[in-house]
Structure 1
Amino acid sequence: MISKKFLDNVSGVAAVEFAFTAPLFLLGLLATFQLGMWMWTQVGLQHGAEMAARCATINPAVCSSPAAIQQFAVGQAFGLNLPATTFSFSQSSCGNLVSASYAFPNFAPYLNLPSFDIRASSCFPV
């Protein structure tokens, strides 16, 4: 038989509530962090592509070759540490086209979540 003293005991309730809510809170915190990093990377790629396409059109002395355009795009990518091969340059019917493709890594690889591609492109008229 369970005694009344045992049923009225409330010590440890906060620890049990914390054990139930902490995993959800941490999952939400990590998801918010991952979303912020994804958005920062997307904006950086888009900015690098836009500035490189503009440079290829307006400033051919600096952006004289596809390799120079790729290096310029990497320098304009908001502090992202990207290889130059992330960006590609071509001349299209719309003008100078710079595209970017980056495999965004999952920050928690032990969860076996896949990485996904982030793409950006910009075309500046000739």
Structure 2
Amino acid sequence: MRQTRTLRTFLRGACGERAAVAVEFALVAPIFLIFILGIVDLGRLFYVRNIMQYGVEQTARYVMVNPEVSQADLETYAQEQVSNMFDGITFTADEPGADVVGGVSYRTVSASYLFDYMMPLVDLTNVPLSTSLRTPVNSTD
């Protein structure tokens, strides 16, 4: 009889501890999951930013070799560089000869994107991301 009473007392204490652990988990788990989602969103933001920078850099290299390429062709080329990685990035470029300083012609390629966080409870929509690169080009004159 004494063993049964000791066993009941032990089980009653164990059930109380299990309930406390479940309550603690219920309080901490949502905060932890939101923290993890925030880290994933920050990773997505840097991923998109790096893709934008990659597209701009590749297009700037292209314009160094082809300085007289048109604005529309540059924008199309930039879009092709990132098309298999991410959609929705807007590229812009200036016309040849639009930026001449001290006899040196420059071309500027820019990228922009409106980033939406997936994280709940925080209304961060349409966060603007942008990057640009200004590169000197040789004139074909």
**TM-score (normalizing by structure 2):** 0.71
The answer as to 2:92 corresponding to 1:88 is yes
Q: Offset at 1:55?
A: 0.8
**TM-score (normalizing by structure 1):** 0.78
The answer as to 2:52 corresponding to 1:45 is yes
- Residue in structure 2 matching 1:117, options 128, 131, 135: 128
Larger radius of gyration: 2
* Matched-pair contact (CA < 8 Å) for 1:96–1:125: yes
- The residue type equivalent to 1:10 in the other structure is E
| Aligned-partner Cα distance in 2 for 1:36–1:95 | 33
The answer as to 2:99 corresponding to 1:71 is no
Deviations 1:2-33 (A, max 9, x none): xxx7x953231221111111011111111011
- Unaligned 5+ runs, structure 1: none
- Residue in structure 2 matching 1:12, options 14, 19, 28: 19
| Aligned-partner Cα distance in 1 for 2:27–2:121 | 22
Q: Offset at 1:123?
A: 1.6
- The residue type equivalent to 1:36 in the other structure is G
Partner of 1:29: 36
Kindly, what percent of the aligned residue pairs are identical? 31
Q: 1:42 to 1:21 in 2, by over 3 A?
A: same
Please identify, of 91-100 and 112-121, the stretch whose mean Cα deviation from structure 2 is larger. Answer: 91-100
Deviations 1:63-96 (A, max 9, x none): 832121112111223711135xx11111434611
SS in 1 for 2:69: coil
- Unaligned 5+ runs, structure 2: 1-8
Could you say what the CA RMSD is over the residues aligned between the two structures, in angstroms?
2.4
SS in 1 for 2:18: coil
| Aligned-partner Cα distance in 1 for 2:130–2:49 | 8
Matched residue count: 117
